[in-house]
Amino acid sequence: MLSQREYEDLLWKINNIPSTITGKKRQHLRTTFKKKLHEHELATKYPPFEPLKFEQ
């Protein structure tokens, strides 16, 4: 999970990718940032997975 500062920094980076970066590099950056943002949203929404104890 991201801290509040990391979260805000990530949002800023998504919205302010330099115009000098174009094409696939720009698309790759946006995709990477959006994946991190999505993981953070899921981590805050759902508790971590804990498997059930298995007994034989």
Q: pLDDT, tens digit, for every residue of 1-39?
A: 889 999 999 999 999 999 999 999 999 999 999 999 999
Domain count for the chain: 1
Is 38 inside any structural domain? yes
CA distance 34 to 14: 8
**Average pLDDT of the segment spanning 34-55:** 91
| C-beta of residue 25 within 8 angstroms of C-beta of residue 33 | no
For 3, 16, 35, 52, the CA distances from 12, given in Å and listed in that order, are 14, 6, 15, 40
Is 34 inside any structural domain? yes
pLDDT band at 51 (very low <50, low <70, confident <90, very high): confident
Is 51 inside any structural domain? no
pTM of the complete model = 0.77
Is 28 inside any structural domain? yes
Burial code of 15-41, b = ≥16 C-beta within 10 A, e = fewer? eeeeeeeeeeeeeeeeeebeebbeebe
pLDDT at 52: 87
Is 19 inside any structural domain? yes
